[in-house]
Amino acid sequence: MIYLMLLILILTIGLFIWGKFPPDVIALISMISLYLTGILNVTETLSGFSNPTVIMIAALFIIGEGIAQTGWTAMAGKKFIEWAGNSVPKLLVIVTLGAGILSGFVSNTGTVATLMPLTISSAWGIGTLPSKMLMPVAFGSNTGGLLTLTGTPPNIIASNALSNAGFEGFSFFEFALIGFPLLIIALLYFRYIGFKLLPKNKTNNKPVNIESTLHNWIEAYKVDSGYYRLRVRSISPLLNTKIEAWQFEKNYHVSIIRIKRRHPNLLKGIPAFEEFPSPNTTFLYHDIITVKGETEAINKIMITFRLGLLPLEPITDELKHNLINQEVGMTEVIVNPNSILVGRKYKLGDYFKRFGIQLLAASRNNKPLEEKDIVVKVGDSFLIRGTWEHIDDLKKQHENLVIIGSPEGMAKNVESLNLKSYIALGALFLMIIFMVFNLVPGSIAALISAGIVLLTGCVPITKAYKGISWTSVVMIAAMIPMGIALQKTGTAQIIANGLVRYLGSIHPIALLGGVFLLTTTFSQVINNSATAVLMAPIAILAANSLNLSPAPFMIVVAISASTAFLTPIGTTTNAMVMTAGGYKFIDYLKVGAPLLFIFFILTLILVPVIWPF
C-alpha cells in the first residue's frame, strides 16, 4: 500500500510538472486513483469538497469580486500606481510588503483574495504583466503569516503542541523575531532576483482603460458636441412640472440624459440623481440637467425656460464622472447581419428605451448619424447608456445586436464610490474582525461576509459565480485527499521517523535542518496545517530524546510548513494566483527553489540564536 501511495504521489507531481493537462484535471485523476486503488474510501475521497478551507476560498473570491465591482480595486490600483511612480520595482515592493504585513493579521487566503484583483489592475496599469506580480503576493502572504501567532494555522499548532507537552507556548508577536527578517529577505529576493525569474505570461485579464475607451467613442461618434448642463432657476416655468408636459424631444429635439438634485431628500423620495429621467420625473429648484441637442435648440430652451448654463468638464472627464458610475455604464453595440432590425425604419432611441437604455449616439461607416429616423443597416453601431444590469440584459438580444468590448470590465474600473462600495468594504472588515478575534471559524466568517456582499447587491449572483476561480477551487478540493492518504498509509510517518533517527546523532543543527527539509517537503503536496500536525509531535519527541529545548524545533516546523514555494498545490494562496498569473507547475519550482534555499540557510543561522537549544 505504501509503494502504491508513493507511485500515485510521484505520478501526480510528474503530471503537474509536465503541464500537458489542466491542474484541476490532474488533481481529480489523482483523487479518483486513491479511491480505485482502495487507499481511501468514498467519504475520504470526497472530503475535500466539504472541507472548510475550500468553502472559504470560494467565499473569498466572491468578497474579492465585491471589492472589485464596487470601485475599491480601481481606486486603490490608481493609488498604487501613484505611489510606485510608474516604477515596476516599486510596485513589486508595495504589493509584496503589503501582502506580508496584511497576512500577519488576516488569513493568507483572505490577503491574496483581497490583493489579487488590485495587483492585476495595478500591474496592467503600470505597463507590466500580472505574472510578474502575483507570485510575489502569494509568497509574501505565506511569509507574512509568520509575523504573529494567529498569522497562519501552523503557528498556532506549533505553539499548542509545545504547551501540551508541558512547555511555555509562544507569545503573539514572538514569531516576528524570525518572520520579519524572512519577509525582508523575500522582499529583497523578488526585487533583485525573483523578478527576473518570473515568467512573462500574457493573460486575458487586462482591465479596461476607461479613458482610452471614452476617447475612441468621442472620435467615432463625435459625442464631444451637443452636451450641455443646465440649471433650473427659481423663475423657470419648468419648476415643479413633469417632463412629459413639455415634450422636449418632439418640440425642441433635445434629449434629457440625467438630472442631479441640488437638494435631495430620501425621506421624500428625492434621490441625489435621476440617472434615467422618466416622463413622470418632476423638475425641482436648482436641478442640474444634462441634455443633448444642437446648439440652436439648447439656446432656444434656455431662453424659453429661463435656464442657466453651467460649464462642462473636458468631454472625457464629463462622460467619466457624470455619465458612468458603479450603477450606470456605457457601451457600444453593433447591428448583427442576421438581425431582424435590418431594413426596418426606426426612430432612434425608441428601440433601446424598451430595455431601459438611452441612445447617446449612432454611427454608420465610421460617420455619425444625426437623423432621428433611420432605416437600419448591417454594421450600424450605437453608443448606449444604461444600468449595468440593463446592459447585461441587452446581451440576450445577441441575434439582433452584438455588444462590443467588455462592459463588465469597464464596471470594475470605475473609480467612483457609492453606498454599495462601503457595504462591500464593511463586509471585508467584518470578516477580518471575526478572524483576528477568532469569534467564528474562518470559513464561517468568509461565508457571512460573502452573504452580505450578495444580499445587498454589491455583486449580482451570476457575476459572483463568474468571479470564482473554479480551477483553483476544484484543484485544492481534489488534492486534500492526498494529505489524508499520506497519513493513513503511514508513508509520512515512516519517512519522518527515519530522517530524525539518522540526523539526531550528528548535531542539533543537522536535526533542525532535517526537520525543516522534511516539513517543507510535505508542505509542497499537503495542507500546511496537516503538515504541522504531522511534524509537531515528531519534532518534540526528537528534541526530548536528545535533552534539547523543543522551542527551536517547533519554530522550524511553523516556518517550514509555510514555505510551500515549489508547487501550486502546497498552499491555497499559490493555487489562487495560478490561473490569474497563467503560471505552470515549473514556474513555481524555478522561482521558489532559490527562495526556499535562502530561507533554509537563514533559519538554521537565526533560530538557534533566538531560541537556544
Q: Average pLDDT in the 191-213 region? A: 80
CA 376 from chain centre, in angstroms, equals: 41
pLDDT for residue 19 is more than 80: no
- The rounded distance, in Å, linking the Cα atoms of 478 and 569 is 10
With a CB cutoff of 8 Å and minimum separation 6, the contacts of 572 are 53, 57, 108, 109, 472, 476
- Confidence class for position 265, pLDDT limits 50, 70, 90: confident
Q: What is the pTM of this model?
A: 0.63
Q: Average pLDDT in the 439-455 region? A: 88
Total residue length of the chain: 613
**Residue 14: which H helix or E strand, with range?**
helix 2-18
Phi-psi region of 593 (alpha: psi -120 to 50; beta: other; left: phi over 0): alpha
Helices (H), 271-326: 295-305, 315-318
pLDDT for residue 497 is more than 80: no
pLDDT for residue 348 is more than 90: no
**Which domains are assigned to the chain?**
2-45+72-205+469-610 (no CATH), 222-322 (3.30.70.1450), 324-412 (3.30.70.1450)
pLDDT of 104 reads 78
pLDDT of 409 reads 63
Window from 256-265, 395-404, 542-551 with minimum mean pLDDT: 395-404
Nearest 5°: the CA angle 94, 96, 101 is 90
pLDDT for residue 164 is more than 70: yes
- Confidence class for position 163, pLDDT limits 50, 70, 90: confident
pLDDT for residue 448 is more than 70: yes
With a CB cutoff of 8 Å and minimum separation 6, the contacts of 533 are 157
Q: Say if residues 341 and 375 touch (Cβ distance below 8 Å).
A: no
- The rounded distance, in Å, linking the Cα atoms of 437 and 150 is 9
Considering the chain, what percentage of its residues have pLDDT values greater than 90? 23
End-to-end Cα spacing for the chain: 38
- The rounded distance, in Å, linking the Cα atoms of 260 and 280 is 16
pLDDT for residue 69 is more than 80: no
pLDDT of 599 reads 96
Round the average pLDDT of the chain to a whole number and report it.
Answer: 83
pLDDT of 406 reads 66
Q: Average pLDDT in the 156-178 region? A: 82
Q: Average pLDDT in the 50-57 region? A: 77
With a CB cutoff of 8 Å and minimum separation 6, the contacts of 286 are 231, 232, 262, 263
- Confidence class for position 35, pLDDT limits 50, 70, 90: very high
Q: Average pLDDT in the 551-577 region? A: 87
- Confidence class for position 306, pLDDT limits 50, 70, 90: very high
Alpha-carbon torsion 213, 583, 140, 151, what sign? positive
Q: Which of 216, 256, 158, 179 is nearest to 519 (CA)?
A: 158
Identify any residues that bridge with 329 across adjacent strands, giving them in sequence order.
386
